Structure 1
């Protein structure tokens, strides 16, 4: 294999127009979070995406004993403690009806002293349909405003949706959408989960895949997702392989084109995530809801890479700060 491509901060740089649109988007996010309790009809401020928590649990990250020598400095222990949150991607919490099968598997990794090493919000679809930063910002701003019943945002949202249609038509995107539709009714723990965007691993740039082992896709067919997850994790151990791809060449492994798969970069198994049965946390507890899985709170050599990822940095900060401020006030009133 060729030498891995080294991380360069130019991968993340926004132009002036994108920075201006980002400031507008941040205001829309803050406004959404401030109104989110009434939008979702709950007694706390929700996240700006993946608002609905299904369950949270404690887990363990066991490191593969024979990982490549170049990766060993980052995994200098046999195991690490995890906090894991399972969620739905929608901005609004649905209390009835069937959720869209867009799931989150967020992982927080800590060292033996409870120090935060990394947050990885993984999702069950490997690609992202928008490569243009400005299109993404305009669309996400319009969506936030629509949830706040600002109906004048409907036309701008429609325009941005039209703009993303070409990026939905790549071979990789079409193939994965067909596969996803076929799995739409499968059990949440039977899906593979992906980082979608790239992350640093020291000077390397990587993508992450989490692949569950021996989970029956038909589990909990007639149950609500929260109930099926609770029942499964109370009675079963869960295990999933942790695999990475390394970026060697931007042509085959593009960092800022998220609608295509990385090619010519084999998956390397670096470890295994395990959740022992009966390791669930109280997802209704305010402390659990205050947890942040912001990947930019990670150690600098584990942080996200790329322009779309850079947007998430600012969005996470605004969302988390607003949510924590409101929820701590609410928690204080209820304590």
Structure 2
């Protein structure tokens, strides 16, 4: 078995132009969040991605006793308390029954003292539609401005979407699009959830997959997703396996090419997530609405890796700071 590649900070180094574009994106995030209560017709400021919360839950992450010692030393406790948030990726909170099946499963792992050691915002689609930092930033900025300014910014959105299309025209991406379309009506908790980008695992680099066990795909098929999740946890426990893949070489496991799957890297089970029935928290409470799953608010050995990942740090922070300022002024409860 080859040795995994070691982490190098050059994987996430941004150019001067990319840093300038990121500053523009941050301004658009602030504008979006400040206007978000009107966009989504709610009485609080929302996130500017994954705005809709289906559920916030408490659970545990149990480390597999059979994993090699060098992996076990990274997570040195037998189990950890976790907080999870189920969400929809849309920037706007859709109040209709039918949501686009772009789901989030964010995990906050805490140590015995209650301190967060790692955040993992996972999604049910394993790939990212663009590798170019500049194209992504321009697209995200134009989307934020579209929701604030509506049709006056529609041409810019279409222009950036056109630039993204070539990145999606490869067998790996198209295969996963087809798979999602086939399963688009499945229950949210029956999907696998993935880290789109890579993360550090001490001095190594990994991708993560969470796979549910024995969840009925047709559960709550005629319900709103939020109602189906709440009904599920009234009577069912949730269990899922947690797997990682190591990066051994950049040809087969590219760090900054997010539109293709990693190959020739086996999935290694490192543990299980367990959420007991009746573990639902109030998603509308100020404390839970203001939860942040910024993957950079993690211990150094669990930090994200890659240029697209690097953008999340400042984007998450400016979004959270703006939400906190507005929601505390509103005394949101």
TM-score by length of 1: 0.98
In the alignment, what sits opposite 1:146? 146
After TM superposition, what 4+ stretches of structure 1 lie above 2 angstroms from structure 2?
Answer: 150-153
SS in 2 for 1:309: helix
In the alignment, what sits opposite 1:137? 137
In the alignment, what sits opposite 1:88? 88
Distance in structure 2 (CA, Å) of the matches to 1:159 and 1:289 = 33
Displacement of 1:314 after TM fit? 1.2
Deviates more, 1:145-154 or 1:82-91: 145-154
Distance in structure 2 (CA, Å) of the matches to 1:151 and 1:134 = 23
Q: Deviations over 1:33-78 (max 9, x none)?
A: 0111111111111001000000111000000001122212111111
- The number of aligned residues is 333
In the alignment, what sits opposite 1:308? 308
In the alignment, what sits opposite 1:30? 30
Deviates more, 1:92-101 or 1:46-55: 92-101
Distance in structure 1 (CA, Å) of the matches to 2:178 and 2:95 = 28
Displacement of 1:160 after TM fit? 1.4
| Structure 1 residues 34-49: aligned runs within 5 Å | 34-49=34-49
Displacement of 1:287 after TM fit? 1.2
Displacement of 1:161 after TM fit? 1.0
Alpha carbons of structure 1 residues 194 and 205: separation in structure 2 relative to 1, 3 Å: same
In the alignment, what sits opposite 2:76? 76
SS in 1 for 2:292: coil
SS in 2 for 1:107: strand
Q: Deviations over 1:291-322 (max 9, x none)?
A: 11111101111011100001111111110111
What is the RMSD of the two structures over their aligned residues, measured on CA atoms? 1.0
Check if 1:161 corresponds to 2:161: yes
| Structure 1 residues 113-124: aligned runs within 5 Å | 113-124=113-124
Which residues of structure 1 form unaligned runs of 5+? none
In the alignment, what sits opposite 1:270? 270
Distance in structure 1 (CA, Å) of the matches to 2:313 and 2:113 = 26
In the alignment, what sits opposite 1:99? 99
Q: Deviations over 1:133-177 (max 9, x none)?
A: 000000000000000025342222212111111111111001111
Distance in structure 1 (CA, Å) of the matches to 2:156 and 2:221 = 39
Distance in structure 2 (CA, Å) of the matches to 1:186 and 1:302 = 31
Distance in structure 1 (CA, Å) of the matches to 2:115 and 2:145 = 37
In the alignment, what sits opposite 2:203? 203
Which residues of structure 2 form unaligned runs of 5+? none
Q: Deviations over 1:103-139 (max 9, x none)?
A: 0000000011001100100000000010000000000
